[in-house]
Structure formats: structure tokens, C-alpha cells
Amino acid sequence: MNATRPGTMKLALGPLLYYWPRETVLAFYRDCARWPVDTVYLGETVCSRRRELKLADWIAIGEDLARAGKEVVLSTSELIESDADLRTMHSVAGNGAFRVEANDMAAVRALAGKGTFVAGPFLNVYNAGTLALLAELGATRWVAPVELSRDGIAAVVADGPPGIETEVFAYGRLPLAVSARCFTARYNNLTKDHCEFRCIEHPDGLALDTQDDQHFLVLNGVQTQSASVHSLVAELGEARAAGTDVLRLSPQSQHTGEVVALFSEAASGALAPHEAAARLAPLMPAAACDGYWHGKPGIVSVGASPAPK
Amino acid sequence: MDQAVAPPAQAVRRMKLVCPAGTPPALKIAVDNGADDVYLGFKDETNARNFAGLNFDDKSLREGIDYAHRHGSQVLVALNTYPQPSTWRKWQAAVDRAADLGVDAIIVADAGLLAYAAKTHPGLRLHLSVQGSATSHEAINFYHERFGIKRAVLPRVLSVEQAEKAIPRTPVEIEVFGFGSLSIMVEGRCALSSYATGESPNTHGGCSPAKAIRWQQSPRGLESRLGGVLIDRFGEQDHPGYPTLCRGRFVVNGDTYYPFEEPTSLNTLELLPRLQAMGVAAIKIEGRQRSPVYVETVTRVWREALDDCAREPQRFRVKPAWQEALAGISEGHQCTLGAYHRPWK
């Protein structure tokens, strides 16, 4: 695959995966209006107990961002368990103002045939057959599962329906797993129903190390993430060549605006891959990884090495 | 028989017992001990227990189907991983093979593969795998409306109350896990294994693959590593278990503990009358990777328990002998109600 100039890709800010105080969130998105992102995904996707912001608050944030020229998408929860979760999903799906990212098949069902939607990263789109089905139902963009490699993405794009946009998780701690159990509550010897909302104390997740001191994962309530920060900043030419239309950058508590600016420069071709990676490193909460992109364990860092022929 | 006689008003809703078979001997043992359904996979990554020495080729599957049918049992084939473009034809061929061999149903997770199966083999019964991550009746109904699935396996994350609410709101039969290894993460939504090893249930049909495991004696104890990552360290008093990533002992803020889950097994025997009353169609036993002795024990115990429960649900009691037998084959020799019991969460 020939690396091409990455110039034509759009940037998207993924949904905020952590639980931050209301004022912090509002300030974050006020700043975001000035960042060079094309699309902003909004909403609580991880835990239904997090209620610093209600749907109406997210819509208000979205309206401000839309006025600033951003495409706004509301994301549904990655795990729907209860009737209350279903009601929330339907409120998001039928919000009337913004396009919706569906993160489970109940949401796809709610959105099917009612305009266009984004097929989120938790829908398990691993092949063109599944993508064709979602496109038939109204999906106009899909977000690849984080563990799908460059070659896997390229193959889905090659065989997939024409015209659908491909979005790739390009920066951030990887959302690897979700559970009914809250691991942050468990760490605090609390049950999920009485969790005291402790994940608000960990704006980038709660670090989990191995017994020989390797930074391995972070606990983010019911979600488990990689400790390392997945970054494709040195691989944007390849990303474009694989068929990527949109790069997803995941919010972190510090330096998100600078990360966005750096990706914007790198995506325009103004920054060499190695230089972009070097300048990104001090803005990251942990070391970089990009193994999934190369078809290797996700934890591995291959870096800016050239693609195999 | 007199056709005019109506069935008794409180006709029992008998739950089916769905047992695992990793090998032909296990299939026979499951059938002989009263499994209603036996589920199994082909010898490749089209199923989520793709381990060396396990599973069925066409010949052994044909013989297995024949044996099961002669004894009144059904055979379900798990094709419950996610094909990628480079491997799509292999999965497609696996659906065709299963249909041609006359299996009673296939258990599928991938929506694209379900679409193919529904279109190509309209007579083939489809079950939605737990790896399909359908956690609500609305998600299950999506698969019903699109592909006509007849049964769905509920993820182990749902509590009894949640399952109870879902059942009357879907025409799809509901199968729940009764016994075996407990999945802590939502099935089909966990990439922890591929993060450490490059292979996950979704992509390669296995979690924490054996080839990525290394055991080594160190001055601080016996260490188990997965993809080089230290999963646990065992002293002389410990019982070293298989280093499944989410069963490991890790360190959070200086505390070394099991951040995800202790190595325990799910056991819902005591919930049987309630599961039966709420209309659960089938109880699934986990463990295609386990030995024929395991299959023999769980099938025998659960057959007896299900029969007792169907006969006299009000008087159903869990027999100590059952629990004793199951404890002997449980992972970590401990059992839990898992997410069925709300405080677990």
C-alpha cells in the first residue's frame, strides 16, 4: 500500500469517556469550539450513573459547537442493561437536533430508516457484510473496532458499500472492555449501586500496574482502557491510504487542544511523522502504543517505521 | 390418547439443558447424561474455543449428529467469532458445511454472517451467540426482525430482574448461562486479550491463547505471563490457575488484588425455579475446553436438577450432593451467582 499525503482527512473529537465535574466539562467544550476539529461526539457513553450533565446539557453544548461550525454527533451508551438505559438511548436517538452514533444494536434498531447515523466503534464491524447491512439501515459513517488492523480496515473499505465514511480511533487510551461490574467501585470496596461516583477522582482513569511495575491498564468505572496511549500520529499517510476519512481523537484531562492542533498539522502534511510523534510525546499521559494498527498486540509500539511491503 | 384431554393448567415449562462438547467423547457423554442440546465448533477460528486438540471435523460432526439424533438430542454449531474480509469465505463455508451436515442450529455473533445464513439457508435455525452482545430485548428483537433468529443467549452481565423483564418483550427464546467460567466483561465487547497477545475472542476465537502463555519460576514465586505481561505470581499455598487476563492479580495504588474478578465459577442452581417461572427457554453450561469428566458431572447434575425443578418447582431444593460434585470441577473451587445477584456488580 502506498503512503499518500494525509491531507484530506477530517478530525473528530470522540465522546468524553471519563467522569469530570460539570464545570470542567463545560469549560472543556467552550475551549473545543476554537480547536481545529471538524466533528465533536457528545454524550455519556460509559456509565448511566454519571449525571453531572443531562441530555439537555449535552444538546446545549452541541448547539454552541454547531454555531462554531462543528459537526455535532450525539453518542449512545456502549452498554444498555436496564429500562432506564433504553429510555436514555431513545431520548438520544430521537433528540431531533443532531445526528447520532449508535453503539449497540438496540440503538441501530431505533435509528434504522429514520435518516442517517454513525455506526459506532462498539458495533463490531469486522467485515463488509456487516457494514453493508448497516449502510442499508442508514449508516453513512462507521467507526472501526479498535482491534481491527490497518489491513483489516483497508479490506473492509475495499469490499464495503460505496460512499460510507470510515473513521479510525487515532489517539487516546483505548477503550478495551466493558462490564456490568464497576471496577472503580470495586477498588474502593463499594458496590456499583452505591459507588459514591468515585470515578470523578480519576480524570484520566485509575492506573492499574502489573506486579512487576508495568503500566498496563486503567480502570474507568465499568470500562477498562489501555494505560498506553494509542497514537497514529506517525502513520497518517498510511491511515489515508487504508481509506480513513476521519481520525478520532479521544479527550484527555490535559493538553487535548494541543493534541488536536498537532494532529491537524500532521494531517495537513505540514509535519513529518517522526517530528509529530516527538512533539506529541510530552502531551500524552503515558507512553504511546500502536500495535493494533500493525496487526500486533495493541500494547506494542511500532512507531513510525515504514509499512511492510 | 384421548385428544380431548387438555394439558394441566399449570403445564410445566421445561427448560432445555445445553451442554458443551469439545470432543466426540464429550458429545457422547453429554447425550448419554441427558443434554437436550449439545453445542460444539469446527476445528478452526470460526468458533470462540479455538484450542488445539478441540472441536470437530466433518466426519466427527456427522457421526456426532447421528448419535445425538438417535438419542433425542440436538446439535448446535457455534460460529460465534467475527470474520474479517480475508477470512470471510472460511466462515461462509462453515455456515454452508453446518447446513449441509444437518445441524439443528448454528450459533452466530456477526451480523453480516447472520445475514448470509438467513439469505442462503432460510431453513437453518439461527441462534444469536452471547458474543453478539445483545443486552436488551430491543437489541434481541433487532436480530429477530432482520434475520429471524429463534433463540438468543443472554450476556452474563444481566441480572435476573433484567432478564425477567426482557423475556415477555421478545418472541425469541432466551438462553442463559447456568454454570461454568464466569465472564466479567460483556461478551463480544472485550479486547483485553488482543491488547496483550494480538488475539481475542472476536478476532481469533480465543481469549488468552495458550501459545501466548509463559510460566516461569522466579525468586518471588511461580509467575504466569500472557504476551509477556505478568498476570499473577503464586506462592506455595496458592493454586495457580490458567492466566486469563481478567483473573490476574494486579496493583492499583499499591494494593495487590484481583481488580476484575477472583477465579470463581458461575453457578445458578439455586435460581432454577425462578428462571423456569420467568420463561427461560434453555440453560447453557460453559466449558467446551473442559474434560469429558467435567461434561459428565455437570450434565448429570443439571439434568437431575432441571427435572426436579420441572416436576415440583415449589419444592425444589439444591441437593448438597450436587453442589459437592460441581465444587469439585469448578474453577478456583468456588461458585458465585455472578451478575444474577445484583450486589456482585
Joined together, the cell numbers standing for residue A113 give 430508516
CB proximity under 8 Å: A 87-106 to B: 104-106
At B328 the pLDDT is 85
| Host H or E run for residue B214 | strand B213-218
CB pairs under 8 A between A and B: 213
B112/A209 Cβ within 8 A: no
pLDDT tens-digit readout, A268-309 = 999 999 999 999 999 999 999 999 999 999 999 997 544 333
At A308 the pLDDT is 36
Per domain, the residue ranges of chain B are: 16-182+264-344, 192-257
Q: Region A136-159: what's the mean pLDDT? A: 97
At A1 the pLDDT is 38
The shortest CB-CB distance from B112 to any of A79, A127, A146 is to A127
Min Cα separation B334/chain A (Å): 19
SS (H, E, C) chain A: CCCCCCCCCEEEECCCCCCCCHHHHHHHHHHHCCCCCCEEEECCCCCCCCCCCCHHHHHHHHHHHHHCCCEEEEECCCCCCCHHHHHHHHHHHCCCCCEEEECCHHHHHHHCCCCCEEECCCCCCCCHHHHHHHHHHCEEEEECCCCCCHHHHHHHHHHCCCCCEEEEEEEEEEEEEEECCCHHHHHCCCCHHHCCCHHHHCCCCEEEECCCCCEEEEEECCEEEEEEEEECHHHHHHHHHCCCCEEEECCCCCCHHHHHHHHHHHHCCCCCHHHHHHHHHHHCCCCEECHHHHCCCCCCCCCCCCCCC
Give the fold, CATH level 3, of A10-173+222-294: TIM Barrel (3.20.20)
Q: B93 in contact with A at a CB cutoff of 8 Å?
A: no
Min Cα separation B130/chain A (Å): 13
Weakest-pLDDT range from A34-43, A249-258, B1-10, B155-164:
B1-10
pLDDT tens-digit readout, B30-47 = 999 999 999 999 988 888
pLDDT tens-digit readout, B193-243 = 999 999 999 988 888 998 999 999 999 999 999 999 999 999 888 888 889
At A39 the pLDDT is 98
The shortest CB-CB distance from B136 to any of A106, A148, A206 is to A106
At A306 the pLDDT is 41
At A169 the pLDDT is 98
Q: What percent of chain B has pLDDT over 90?
A: 74
The shortest CB-CB distance from B251 to any of A128, A177, A209 is to A209
Min Cα separation B16/chain A (Å): 25
Average pLDDT, chain A: 94
Please determine, for residue A42, whether its predicted confidence score (pLDDT) is greater than 80.
yes
Do residues B47 and B36 make contact, with C-beta atoms less than 8 angstroms apart? no
Please determine, for residue B341, whether its predicted confidence score (pLDDT) is greater than 70.
no
pLDDT tens-digit readout, A203-248 = 999 999 999 999 999 999 999 999 999 999 999 999 999 999 999 9
Compute the distance between CA of residue B44 and CA of residue B54 in angstroms, rounded to an integer.
9
Task: Sort out which chain B residues have CB atoms less than 8 A from A209's CB and list them.
Answer: 250-252
The shortest CB-CB distance from A127 to any of B84, B143, B229 is to B84
Average pLDDT, chain B: 90
Do residues B263 and B224 make contact, with C-beta atoms less than 8 angstroms apart? no
Please determine, for residue B59, whether its predicted confidence score (pLDDT) is greater than 60.
yes
Min Cα separation B253/chain A (Å): 8
Please determine, for residue B1, whether its predicted confidence score (pLDDT) is greater than 50.
no
Compute the distance between CA of residue B322 and CA of residue B86 in angstroms, rounded to an integer.
46
Do residues A68 and A33 make contact, with C-beta atoms less than 8 angstroms apart? yes
Quick one: closest CA in A to B250, which residue?
A: A210
A80/B135 Cβ within 8 A: yes
B192/A83 Cβ within 8 A: no
Q: A216 in contact with B at a CB cutoff of 8 Å?
A: yes
At A7 the pLDDT is 56
Q: Region B275-282: what's the mean pLDDT? A: 96
| Host H or E run for residue B24 | helix B24-32
Task: Sort out which chain B residues have CB atoms less than 8 A from A80's CB and list them.
Answer: 135-136, 138-139
Q: Of 3.20.20.70, 3.40.47.40, 1.10.10.10, 3.30.470.20, which CATH number belongs to B16-182+264-344? A: 3.20.20.70
Please determine, for residue B77, whether its predicted confidence score (pLDDT) is greater than 50.
yes
At B204 the pLDDT is 86
HSE toward the beta carbon, residue B40, CA cutoff 13 A: 32
Compute the distance between CA of residue A120 and CA of residue A247 in angstroms, rounded to an integer.
13
Task: Sort out which chain A residues have CB atoms less than 8 A from B337's CB and list them.
Answer: none
At A23 the pLDDT is 98
Min Cα separation B300/chain A (Å): 31
Task: For chain A, give the number of residues.
Answer: 309
Q: Which of B195, B222, B229, B260 is the mutation pick for testing A, counting most A CBs within 10 A?
A: B195
A106/B189 Cβ within 8 A: no
Q: What is the ipTM of this complex?
A: 0.95
Compute the distance between CA of residue A52 and CA of residue A27 in angstroms, rounded to an integer.
13
B145/A180 Cβ within 8 A: no
CB proximity under 8 Å: A 223-242 to B: 224, 226
pLDDT tens-digit readout, A47-105 = 999 999 999 999 999 999 999 999 999 999 999 999 999 999 999 999 999 999 999 99
Q: Region B87-114: what's the mean pLDDT? A: 96
Compute the distance between CA of residue B112 and CA of residue A160 in angstroms, rounded to an integer.
12
Phi-psi region of B221 (alpha: psi -120 to 50; beta: other; left: phi over 0): left
Compute the distance between CA of residue B37 and CA of residue A176 in angstroms, rounded to an integer.
33
Q: Which of B136, B143, B145 is the mutation pick for testing A, counting most A CBs within 10 A?
A: B136
B191/A146 Cβ within 8 A: yes
Q: What percent of chain B has pLDDT over 70?
A: 92
Q: Is B152 helix (H, G, I), strand (E, B) or coil?
A: strand
Compute the distance between CA of residue B244 and CA of residue A260 in angstroms, rounded to an integer.
36
Do residues B299 and B35 make contact, with C-beta atoms less than 8 angstroms apart? yes
